[in-house]
Structures are given as structure tokens and as C-alpha cells.
């Protein structure tokens, strides 16, 4: 039985988004106590010969991932368990110039949120303007989506880090390699509102060089999305993939630097899900070759 919207929202406000796993049906999806399900969807066709993202393919990957995450055969039913009227939904994207969230994926999320019954005027996609965006100011639910890449201060740009734009002073969270990013998830306006985390692994970046922190040679076509309810298991899985790629390309002496320990700390200190691979049920869909995890 699906709980009423009122019941669900009240529960989320009290316990935080991580607990949404249980209420939204993760138990039916096979997640046991202290465990988390993460779905890795990979399709080579997501990139065309010129390296552009295919809108229809990434949309289908998203839906396949969300359906598998919640154990539903029908993606539409799965989305209705993530958002429902009268939710007001913010889609927190990331528009970092060299490697942004694909607009095709932003559009796919918006489409599915509306198809789940949310009014179009109650959905917004934003990044750096979230604090002044009127939809985000009244949001009841947040979908968090960004590409995975290495980062100068936090080691990795993760789903956990993607909400830093909601902080009054983002630099307050930069100490000790951004160790306390998980705290943002316990404070308004983020606390209890994140319903879905999507880590874009289509062309992830395994290393950073120079003032612009980017070179195309530092990315590779991985053709993937990681989808989960909690940020930590999603980010931890992505971090394993990045580390494996670094090992392959840079050798054993070049671990991710600085250490992305904000992921483990967000789990152990802030209750945002397990980071231990042994506690993560990784569901794999599609392309299996060179998965690195």
C-alpha cells in the first residue's frame, strides 16, 4: 500500500531523505536494513558518433534505472512513488561549463515529474540560482542530478556536493576536503526533500589539470547513469569507478586527491546511506564491458 502524501511528507520531514527509502518502497525493492540499492544503467547508444547525448536513449536509461531501483516493471509507476501531487519539485542540476548535466537528461526528469502528476509550474531545473528560484523556494521534493568528476577541494564532485549551492556560505564546507558536506543535507531547505539521486557517468572525468580543471582526454565514454535514493551509496559506487579508471590510466600512486572522504563521512556521521560496497546492492542494466565496478 502506498502511504498518503501527507503521511509521506511528514515522515520525510522528521527523518530526512535517506529514510525515504523505506517509506517509498525500497523494502519492496529488496533493500534490507542498513543496505541500499543502486542501479547502474549503461547503453553505448547514449552517445552518437560525434559524442553528443541522445535524448531518447538517456530518457529510457533514466526510466529503466528508476524502475529497477524501486522494483517496478513500469517506470511511470516508479516515478509516481518518487513524486506526486501536490509536490513542488526542484531539479538540482549542475551546469559546470566543461562537463554539465546533459540538458536532455534535465528535460527527461522534468517530463517524468510532470507525467507523475506534478503541475508544470511546480517543477524547475536550476543550479546556481536555486536560492532565488521561486519554485525551489517552495519545493517539497528535490531530484538531484549531476555528472561525476574530480574536484580540487572535495576530491570528487558528487551528488552529496551538488547541494552546496543551498548553503548560506558554501566555503564553510570546504575544510578537511569538504568532510562535512553531509551536514547540508540535515538543514533546510534540503533536509528531508531529496527523493532521487542521479549521478551522470556518461563521460565522467577521472582527473583534473590546470586552472580550468579539464581536458577532454581526462574523460572517457562510460555510457552510464547511477541511480539511487540515498546519495552516499550512489557516490561511493561512482567513486569506485573513478578510482579504478585512475588506477588504469595513472597507476597506483595517484589515488583521488584530496581524498573524497566526505562520502564515507556523510554515511557514518549524517546517516545518508552506506558507502561500503558490501552493503550496496548494485543492479546492473545494459552494457557490461569495462564497467570497472
Q: What are phi and psi of 110, to 5 degrees?
A: -60, -45
Residues 6+ apart with CB under 8 A from 197: 144, 145, 159, 227, 228, 229, 230, 231, 234, 235
**Burial group, residue 22, by CB count within 10 angstroms (0-12, 13-18, 19+):** middle
CB of 186 to other proteins, least distance (A): 18
State the number of binding residues for other proteins (CB under 8 A): 28
Question: Can residue 153 be called a binding residue for other proteins (CB under 8 A)?
Answer: yes
| Per-residue binder mask for other proteins (CB under 8 A), 14-53, x = binder | ----------------------------------------
Question: Can residue 251 be called a binding residue for other proteins (CB under 8 A)?
Answer: no
Angle at alpha carbon of residue 2, lines to 231 and 142, rounded to 5° = 30
Give the CA radius of gyration of the chain.
17
Question: Can residue 132 be called a binding residue for other proteins (CB under 8 A)?
Answer: no
CB of 205 to other proteins, least distance (A): 11
Q: For other proteins, give the closer residue by CB, 74 or 176.
A: 176
How far from the centroid of its chain's Cα atoms is residue 46's Cα? Answer: 18
Question: Can residue 218 be called a binding residue for other proteins (CB under 8 A)?
Answer: yes
CB of 215 to other proteins, least distance (A): 4
CB of 256 to other proteins, least distance (A): 11
Cα–Cα distance for residue pair 232/209, rounded to 1 Å: 26
3-state secondary structure of 259: coil
Question: Can residue 240 be called a binding residue for other proteins (CB under 8 A)?
Answer: no
Cα–Cα distance for residue pair 71/246, rounded to 1 Å: 33
CB of 194 to other proteins, least distance (A): 21
CB of 61 to other proteins, least distance (A): 26
Question: Can residue 179 be called a binding residue for other proteins (CB under 8 A)?
Answer: yes
Cell of 288: 557490461
Single out the segment in contact with other proteins by CB under 8 A; choices: 13-21, 83-91, 204-212, 272-280: 204-212
CB of 115 to other proteins, least distance (A): 33
Question: Can residue 169 be called a binding residue for other proteins (CB under 8 A)?
Answer: no
Helix (H) or strand (E) holding 91: strand 89-92
| Per-residue binder mask for other proteins (CB under 8 A), 97-116, x = binder | x-------------------
Residue from 6, 132, 169, 171 binding other proteins (CB under 8 A) = 171
Nearest of 271, 61, 69, 234 to residue 157 by alpha carbon: 234
Amino acid at each position: 500500500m502506498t502511504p498518503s502524501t501527507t503521511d509521506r511528507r511528514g515522515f520525510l520531514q522528521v527523518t530526512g531523505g535517506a529514510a525515504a527509502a523505506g517509506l517509498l518502497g525500497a523494502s519492496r525493492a529488496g533493500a534490507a536494513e542498513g543496505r541500499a540499492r543502486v542501479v547502474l544503467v549503461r547503453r553505448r547508444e547514449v552517445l552518437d558518433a560525434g559524442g553528443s547525448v541522445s535524448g531518447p536513449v538517456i530518457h529510457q536509461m533514466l526510466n529503466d534505472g528508476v524502475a529497477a531501483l524501486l522494483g517496478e516493471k513500469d517506470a511511470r509507476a516508479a516515478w509516481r512513488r518518487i513524486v506526486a501531487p501536490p509536490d513542488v519539485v526542484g531539479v538540482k542540476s549542475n551546469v559546470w561549463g566543461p562537463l554539465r548535466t546533459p540538458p536532455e537528461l534535465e528535460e527527461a526528469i522534468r517530463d517524468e515529474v510532470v507525467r507523475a502528476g506534478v503541475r508544470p509550474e511546480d517543477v524547475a531545473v536550476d543550479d546556481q540560482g536555486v536560492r532565488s528560484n521561486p519554485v525551489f523556494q517552495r519545493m517539497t521534493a528535490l531530484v538531484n542530478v549531476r555528472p561525476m568528476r574530480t574536484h580540487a577541494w572535495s576530491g570528487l564532485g558528487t551528488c552529496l556536493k551538488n547541494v552546496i549551492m543551498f548553503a548560506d556560505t558554501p566555503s564553510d564546507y570546504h575544510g578537511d576536503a569538504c568532510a562535512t558536506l553531509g551536514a547540508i543535507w540535515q538543514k533546510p531547505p534540503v533536509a528531508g526533500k531529496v527523493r532521487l539521486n542521479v549521478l551522470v557517468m556518461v563521460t565522467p572525468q577521472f582527473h583534473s589539470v590546470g586552472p580550468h580543471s579539464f581536458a577532454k582526454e581526462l574523460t572517457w565514454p562510460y555510457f552510464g547513469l547511477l541511480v539511487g535514493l540515498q546519495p552516499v551509496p550512489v557516490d561511493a559506487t561512482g567513486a569506485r569507478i573513478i578510482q579504478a579508471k585512475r588506477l588504469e590510466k595513472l597507476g597506483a600512486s595517484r589515488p583521488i586527491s584530496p581524498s573524497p572522504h566526505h562520502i564515507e563521512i556523510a554515511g557514518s556521521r549524517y546517516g545518508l546511506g552506506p558507502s561500503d560496497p558490501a552493503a550496496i546492492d548494485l543492479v546492473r542494466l545494459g552494457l557490461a564491458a569495462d564497467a570497472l565496478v
